[in-house]
């Protein structure tokens, strides 16, 4: 099936993460970048979760569970690394890249298709 449109808000928000990964890869990690990442992720997850609730999305539980795992992992990384050093930066970059491949190109795409078929975009 040819896709004729995409879910603009979701795609735009995913682009933000892509830019953040580039930023993290390009320079030193610091507290403000990490805080921005956490705030961005929370804002984005809440928005997807609200859509799923509004639309009675059938796979809502597993999707929220995946978001919760991401939330917990970020918290864990912050606690495990006592400074924003190179090791933290690399670990974070790898984690986010995996997330992009596994979640954003995976179950987020399924959600996108579902929302696009609804009247509530
Ligand atoms: Fe997403
Ligand atoms: Fe998601």
d(CA 90, ligand 2 centre) in Å: 23
Is residue 8 a part of any domain in this protein? Answer: no
Of the chain, the percentage scoring pLDDT greater than 90 comes to 88
d(CA 41, ligand 1 centre) in Å: 8
d(CA 48, ligand 2 centre) in Å: 6
Of the chain, the percentage scoring pLDDT greater than 70 comes to 96
Q: In the prediction, which pLDDT does 1 show?
A: 43
pTM over 0.85: yes
pLDDT-derived band at 15 (thresholds 50, 70, 90) equals very high
Rounded to whole angstroms, the Cα distance separating 55 from 104 reads: 19
d(CA 80, ligand 1 centre) in Å: 25
Q: In the prediction, which pLDDT does 119 show?
A: 78
Is residue 3 a part of any domain in this protein? Answer: no
Q: In the prediction, which pLDDT does 3 show?
A: 52
pLDDT-derived band at 4 (thresholds 50, 70, 90) equals low
Query: Mean of the pLDDT values across residues 19-37?
Result: 95
Is residue 22 a part of any domain in this protein? Answer: no
Is residue 9 a part of any domain in this protein? Answer: no
Domain count, the chain: 1
Is residue 1 a part of any domain in this protein? Answer: no
Is residue 4 a part of any domain in this protein? Answer: no
Residue 56: which region, alpha, beta or left (left: phi > 0; alpha: psi -120 to 50)? Answer: left
Domain that holds residue 99: 28-117
Q: Around Cβ 50, how many Cβ atoms within 10 Å? A: 10
């Amino acid at each position: 099936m040819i896709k004729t449109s995409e879910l603009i808000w979701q795609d735009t928000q995913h682009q933000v993460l892509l830019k953040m990964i580039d930023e993290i890869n390009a320079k030193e990690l610091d507290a403000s970048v990490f805080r921005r990442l956490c705030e961005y992720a929370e804002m984005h997850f809440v928005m997807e979760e609200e859509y799923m609730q509004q639309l009675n999305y059938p796979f809502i539980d597993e999707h929220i569970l995946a978001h919760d795992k991401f939330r917990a992992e970020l918290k864990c990384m912050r606690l495990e690394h006592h400074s924003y050093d190179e090791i933290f930066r690399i670990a974070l970059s790898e984690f986010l890249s995996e997330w992009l491949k596994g979640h954003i190109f995976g179950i987020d795409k399924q959600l996108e298709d579902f929302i696009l078929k609804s009247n509530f975009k």
